[in-house]
Every structure is written in structure tokens, then in C-alpha cells.
Amino acid sequence: RKEVEQDPGPFNVPEGATVAFNCTYSNSASQSFFWYRQDCRKEPKLLMSVYSSGNEDGRFTAQLNRASQYISLLIRDSKLSDSATYLCVVNPVGAGGSYIPTFGRGTSLIVHP
């Protein structure tokens, strides 16, 4: 089993739709979680951190479920500009006690008119 798994998609949704992605992780000792957005042939950019209590930023909501070992990202009222690949990042502790960022392969979202 991969350390971090995401459904690659693509998720094809109309403008205005609500869409949700999940990301499962295998290391129960993981401490920090993030969602990044990556546009085609560009570098990843932070979308939001994921806190234990869940957090919301405008149309975006991130949640963490430690018991089932997954994080989720909900996008409401999808815009054309939301079309991108969404990467989750999980940080298990490495052998040296430091944190090793582990990315999922990303979920592709296509929002159409």
C-alpha cells in the first residue's frame, strides 16, 4: 500500500458544483497535513493546511479523520479557475526524527461551463 493515496480522477464537474476529494495515508504517526494546488506545468502552491478540528477558507473546506486516516477537501460553487491538480501532503516522522513530506499523486479537477 502506498503511503499516501489519491484518486487521480479526472473529476469533471460543471461550474457551480460541489466536489470533494479524499486522500488516505498509511502512517498513523503522521502529524501535519496540507492541500496544495498545481496548475499544468507549474509548481505546487499551498491551498490550505488541514487542522484536526477542520478548517474553512472561503469555498474550500478541509477535514482530517485520524481514526480512518484520511483527509478531505471540499470545494463549493466550483469556478472554471479551480481546474487544476490537487495534491495532498502528509508528514510522517523520518528515522532522524524530522518530518518527511510525502505527496499523493494528485487528483485532477476539470470544471466546465
* Position 80 contacts another protein (CB under 8 A): no
Degrees to nearest 5, angle at CA 50 with 35 and 43: 20
Give, as ranges, the residues between 6 and 45 that touch another protein (CB under 8 A): 6, 8, 31-32, 34, 42-45
How far is residue 42's CA from residue 66's CA, in Å, rounded to a whole number?
A: 31
Task: Find the shortest distance in angstroms from Cβ 51 to another protein.
Answer: 13
Name the residue with cell 484520511: 70
Binding letters toward another protein, positions 40-79, x by CB under 8 A:
--xxxxx--x------------------------------
Task: Find the shortest distance in angstroms from Cβ 49 to another protein.
Answer: 7
How far is residue 88's CA from residue 106's CA, in Å, rounded to a whole number?
A: 7
